[in-house]
Amino acid sequence: MERNRGKKITIQLTFDYGSERKAIRIIGDNVLFFDLETNMMSPFEGLKVGSRENIIKEFPDLSEIKDKGELQTAVARKFKDKIKGFKTEMERAEWMISELKNMGGKPLMIQRMGSRPRLIK
């Protein structure tokens, strides 16, 4: 691990979400979401973040924001701040796995680029 100090590594998470298979790629403090069926890629800002009620339940401090676009921007900012708060890509990956489980996703594999994938238990 010493040789990677200060360098960005890439970690990919693969999981099932409903009937779809998705991937998340973590590169430094950048997070990209992939739909493996369509090969479409998106940063967090391009995702649908759910209903206003669910957002307010998760982030009560955003309840004052009425505009849907502003709300989505505020949630994306909170996500980016959270991601940047972790020191390593592995910490970011572990947090993402935990969040995905809470949202009903089923994590399948984790892979550091250049290494073999491992099953997530």
pLDDT at 56: 84
Beta bridge partners of 42: 33
What does the pLDDT average to over 67-83? 90
CB 65 within 8 A of CB 74: yes
What is the model's pTM? Answer: 0.82
Res 1 pLDDT > 50? no
Range of the domain at 10: 2-119
Query: What per-residue confidence (pLDDT) applies to 90?
Result: 94
- What letter does residue 82 receive in the DSSP assignment? H
So what's the pLDDT on residue 4? Answer: 52
If one counts the domains in the chain, the total is 1
